[in-house]
Amino acid sequence: MKIEVLPPGERPQLTRQHAFDWTALIERQVHPIKIAVLEALRWVGGPLSARELWLIGVGDPVYGTVAYHVKSLADEGLLIHTVSTPARGSVEKFYVLPSAA
């Protein structure tokens, strides 16, 4: 594709663009583990931790991957951290969907 260079101060002409494929964008940008986490929490209906989600088989066989996606959903406001409990020298955090909080 050749890139046209315009003189200073000129704008490119408006062209008709095709409709944007929003479905393709969503399929490429929304991670399947995030969808699985949200569906599992909706199905269970109660608070779950990243560890519990991992144990029931949500997503990746690596716990850290599931925990990462759970935290990112919480950071985005799509999950709410409801309670924490000490667990094996760490802290286990439990999450719910915003509609359940």
Domains annotated on the chain, with CATH: 31-100 (1.10.10.10)
Residue 97: per-residue pLDDT: 93
Determine the Cα–Cα distance for residues 58 and 50; give it in Å rounded to an integer: 9
Residue 40: per-residue pLDDT: 94
pLDDT tens track of the chain, all 101 residues?
688 888 888 888 887 777 878 888 787 778 899 999 999 999 998 899 999 999 999 877 899 999 999 999 999 999 999 999 998 888 999 999 998 65
Residue 61: per-residue pLDDT: 85
Residue 21: per-residue pLDDT: 81
Residue 58, Cβ density class (10 Å: 0-12 exposed, 13-18 middle, ≥19 buried): buried
Residue 93: per-residue pLDDT: 94
Strand order in the sheet with 48-49: 48-49, 90-96, 80-87
- β-pair type (48-49, 80-87): unpaired
Residue 58: per-residue pLDDT: 86
pTM of this prediction exceeds 0.85: no
Determine the Cα–Cα distance for residues 38 and 58; give it in Å rounded to an integer: 10
Residue 28: per-residue pLDDT: 77
